[in-house]
Amino acid sequence: MESLSELDASFLYLESDRAPLNVGGAFVFKKKSPRSRFNFNRFREILYSKLGNERLFRHRVLESSLNLELPTWAEDPHFDIDNHIHYLSLSDLPGQSSLNELTATILSKPLDRDKPLWNVTYVEGLEKQSPYSKQHFALIINIHISAVDGNTGDDILSQLLKLAPEVHELPDEENWQPNPLPKSTNWLDEAYSNAFSIPKKLAHIAKDTAASAFYGVLAERLKGLNLPDALLKVAKTPVNQSVSNKRAVDTLVIPASQIRTIRQNLNDVTTNDVIMGICAEAICHYLSDNSKTLPKIPLIAMSPIAVRSTSLEVKSGNQLAASLFSLVTTEKDPIQRIRRIHESAQSSSHYDAAISAARLTELIPSCMAALSARVYSEFLLAQKHKPMFNLPITNIPGPQFPLYMEDNELISHTCASPLFDGLGIGITIVSYNGQYTLTTTYCPELVKTTESFSHYLEKALKTIDEGQLTASSETNLKPAPQTGLIEDAVGLVNNLFSNKEKADQ
């Protein structure tokens, strides 16, 4: 058995029925031909052959009485793969049910802690939804954030995807002999034996939880700076309230060439700046439609970014850092906003170390999505202390070539964001094989719109697309405004923690 880290234990303790901390999404595949015999049973056989490769498959969480000890990972002697993989057809569901609606429903439910913390739903009947045909099927993957290995980033899809279409004979069935679960002692005896260590252990958990440390160090370092009280206040919006257990997921696919053209026309900005600008413009459109006025201070986004490490040979959580970015929502011109987002982003100490998309092709995109969710989930805990940002926007560069499960090509995938009280919306962007997929996860009781949120993303893209040519010819006519107070504060926060990291090395 192995104890969970204090951070992973905190993910379990702070989870609720309204806010399950799950990560995953829908991954759409296309069979090689209409005559392909690949089906749910074959998928079950493939996944069954992978069970010995990762701890998450057959290990469950054991929580101690009264949570006096950290939870531990233990082999589940009652493990049954059929408790974790399911079959559904969109054709059998009522009405106009979509893959996104099914994904939102599945990810909105907490996983059963008496079993390993994952499940996969094999979905057929996608021909009911444009632009799919009978050759398409999907996997909806759902994993608890505490089960994602922060050191390796391995998840279920990384065990299934390959660089080339290959059908192999599966290995013989593994003779797995699980260890029995430990016998639980009387909880009173356990409580008595741990009584004197309770304060120390609880303090240790609070101290070592990343979010507690984050806010604690921040507060300590800001004490002597004599800054205005309002400096680090986050804008209040309708989406930054307590969430319900309802979720909505929708997607927008943008050709990578379109984003690249915008970047080239604007000069001296990055692809990430353009993506952040599209998201910022969409948020402005939504708030303008649903609020009387936009907040008078800029909205702040938290964005996990990949940074250089000594090696990219293995998937490593150490390659991810989190930075706060101003979305400059007080700027009305979406083109000028992108340029100011670029200026704000440069204040991050991690910005210059960001890995280019080309170098990230060594990594399976689903692993990056899971690790990114871990990074921003650490910040979610910080929201318990003091709101630090309005929404997470995660931009995940992926390989620009197709990936395969046997001879089934991965066509597209959506990565849903876990939500939390105070964070009613999250946006995840994945680039893969020549396209960007923007997935918005939101609580429909907070983000109230008659249309999907992707409508606002489409509108934002069109606005920026129409304004880019004029802006490219006026690059030097209008100097970029001086960096504002909020942008300075964001840079200060990022650099405070960068300095702490250096001091700890």
Q: pLDDT tens for residues 218-241?
A: 445 545 544 444 445 688 899 988
The neighbouring-strand residues paired with 479 are none
Domain boundary pick from 160, 183, 218:
160
Same-domain check for residues 147 and 276: no
Residue 186 belongs to some domain of the structure = no
| Through-space distance between the first and last CA atoms of the chain, rounded to whole angstroms | 30
Same-domain check for residues 324 and 450: yes
Helix, strand or coil for residue 246? coil
Same-domain check for residues 95 and 15: yes
β-pairing verdict for 300-306 and 391-397: parallel
Residue 176 belongs to some domain of the structure = no
What pLDDT score does 202 carry? 44
**How many separate helices (H) and strands (E) can be counted in the chain?**
14, 15
What is the distance between the alpha carbons of residues 11 and 247, in angstroms, rounded to a whole number? 19
Same-domain check for residues 150 and 232: no
**Overall residue count recorded for the chain in this entry:** 505
Residues of the chain with pLDDT under 70: 7, 65-68, 149-155, 184-233, 305-322, 347-387, 469-505
What pLDDT score does 386 carry? 56
Same-domain check for residues 319 and 468: yes
Phi and psi, residue 212, nearest 5°: -65, -45
| Cα-based angle 236, 376, 72 (whole degrees, multiple of 5) | 130
Q: How many CA atoms lie within 13 A of 56 on its CB side?
A: 23
Residue 230 belongs to some domain of the structure = yes
Residue 188 belongs to some domain of the structure = no
Question: How many domains is the chain built from?
Answer: 2
Q: What is the CATH number of the domain that holds 351?
A: 3.30.559.10
Please give the mean pLDDT across all residues of the chain: 77
Annotate 434-472 with three-state secondary structure: CEEEEEEEECCCCCCCCCCCHHHHHHHHHHHHHHHHHHH
What pLDDT score does 291 carry? 77
What is the distance between the alpha carbons of residues 370 and 27, in angstroms, rounded to a whole number? 14
Same-domain check for residues 13 and 97: yes
Q: Which domain holds residue 389?
A: 209-504
Domain boundary pick from 119, 135, 160:
160
Same-domain check for residues 131 and 236: no
Residue 303 belongs to some domain of the structure = yes
Secondary structure E strands in 47-199: 59-62, 72-75, 85-89, 118-124, 136-144
Phi and psi, residue 123, nearest 5°: -120, 125
What's 328's DSSP letter? Answer: -
**Residues 6 or more apart whose Cβ sits within 8 Å of residue 179:** 74, 75, 77
What pLDDT score does 487 carry? 54
What is the distance between the alpha carbons of residues 234 and 216, in angstroms, rounded to a whole number? 18
Same-domain check for residues 156 and 265: no
Residue 316 belongs to some domain of the structure = yes
Same-domain check for residues 268 and 399: yes
Residue 408 belongs to some domain of the structure = yes
Q: Buried b vs exposed e over 26-37: b needs ≥16 C-beta within 10 Å?
A: bbbbbbeeeeee
Per-residue pLDDT tens over the stretch 5-35: 776 777 787 788 888 988 889 999 999 999 9
What pLDDT score does 234 carry? 80
**Residues 6 or more apart whose Cβ sits within 8 Å of residue 430:** 365, 369, 396, 398, 413, 414, 415, 436, 437, 439
Residue 184 belongs to some domain of the structure = no
Same-domain check for residues 217 and 149: no
Same-domain check for residues 213 and 134: no
CA dihedral 232, 236, 239, 240 (to 10 degrees): 50
β-pairing verdict for 136-144 and 118-124: antiparallel
Residue pair 114/79 in contact by the 8 Å Cβ criterion: no
What pLDDT score does 294 carry? 85
Residue pair 324/388 in contact by the 8 Å Cβ criterion: yes
What pLDDT score does 96 carry? 72
Look at the pTM and tell me if it is higher than 0.85.
no
Same-domain check for residues 47 and 143: yes
